[in-house]
Amino acid sequence: MARRQRSAPLDEAVLVAQPPLAAAELAPTAQPAQDRTGAAFFDVDNTMMQGASLYYFARGLAARRYFTTIDLARFAISQARFRLLAAEHAGDMDRAREAALSFVKGWQVEEMQRLSEEIFDELMADRIWSGTRALADAHLASGQRVWLVTAAPVELGRVIATRLGLTGALGTVAEIRDGAYTGRLVGEMMHGPNKANAVEALAAAEGLDLSRCTAYSDSINDVPMLTTVGRAVAVNPDSALRRMARSQGWEVRDFRSGRNAAKVAVPVVLGAGMVAGAVVGGMALSRRRKKAL
């Protein structure tokens, strides 16, 4: 597979020229030159975070009685099929889309924002891979911008990006009217080829040179995004992506020990792609919740 020329290593970034200063004077004020044409794009689930963001989001909702444990088990089973069987045929994705839309319909945007912030702080903050965050921070230190790219709702992606001090997030966008979700998507789910399309659109809008950009992911499903940029890095890769990385000569970073890998396996299977079908059980709960109001 053809590859574009790789971007320069991060440690070769050029700093803004400064007049000679003592180290004590320079340290607090020196800033890297803003690299306007290079950027980094990070998948979230099992790349930036141990496990799946929406799995932990659902756990937080269950603790607040938005879900029951039975509801959680139902969409966990759905996720196991989605993850392990790679069920991405048109019919599966259509049903996934309908489930996702049913889940968010009628929710207030402010409520989603508040819950996302609370649940990130409670359940997700301690599950950020320190190694992956260091990679993101290195891009920021070099003057590049850093975006998360996730199938989760863009609101949740933005909360994670904000908490980590990143530039922003690309995610699945639900239509909003009068401050509430309508049950329709704006565009397509942020998954597979749609991630690559979103990265290309952002690059065009921001004046990025994709050959100087880097993408990070754990999943073979993100090969379209990984091959859109000049430098691809497999982080905590699944077996298919590891093979792909070896064949293409891509860098591989694995921050999992044997024990951590075992711990991560369950939430990844249960939570990955929850937007794409895991919230089936949540629909019934949502209806019960509305009746109770």
In a domain, 60, yes or no: yes
* DSSP letter (8 states) at residue 276: G
Is 113 among the domain residues?
Answer: yes
Closest C-alpha to 53, from 172, 166, 222, 135:
172
**3-class DSSP state for residue 102?**
helix
Asked, for residue 30, whether it belongs to a domain, the answer is no
Residues of the chain with pLDDT under 50: 1-29, 85-90, 259-293
Active site residues: 43, 45
Which pLDDT value is given to residue 188?
Answer: 84
Is residue 26 assigned to a domain? no
Predicted pLDDT of residue 203: 97
Q: Please check whether residue 19 lies inside any domain of the structure.
A: no
> What confidence score (pLDDT) does residue 267 get?
47
* pLDDT the model gives residue 183: 83
Residue with tokens 């290309």: 200
- What is residue 185's predicted lDDT score, i.e. its pLDDT? 84
CA dist., res. 99 & res. 279, Å (int) = 6
Mutual orientation of helices 154-164 and 53-63 as an angle, nearest 10°?
A: 100
Residue 268 lies in a domain: yes
Q: Which domain holds residue 147?
A: 36-292
- Predicted local distance difference test score (pLDDT) of residue 10: 41
The 10s digit of each residue's pLDDT in 155-175 is 999 999 999 999 999 998 889
Q: What is the pLDDT of residues 193-218, one digit of tens each?
A: 999 999 999 999 999 999 999 999 99
225 domain residue, yes or no = yes
CA 108 to chain centre: 22
Can you give the pTM of this predicted structure? 0.76
Rounded to whole angstroms, how far apart are CA atoms 2 and 48?
27
Residue 13 inside a domain? The answer is: no
User: What is the 8-class DSSP label of residue 32?
Assistant: B
Domain count, the chain: 1
Given this model, what pLDDT does residue 176 score? 92
Q: In this structure, are residues 33 and 14 in contact, taking their beta carbons and an 8 Å threshold? A: yes
CATH code where residue 239 lies: 3.40.50.1000
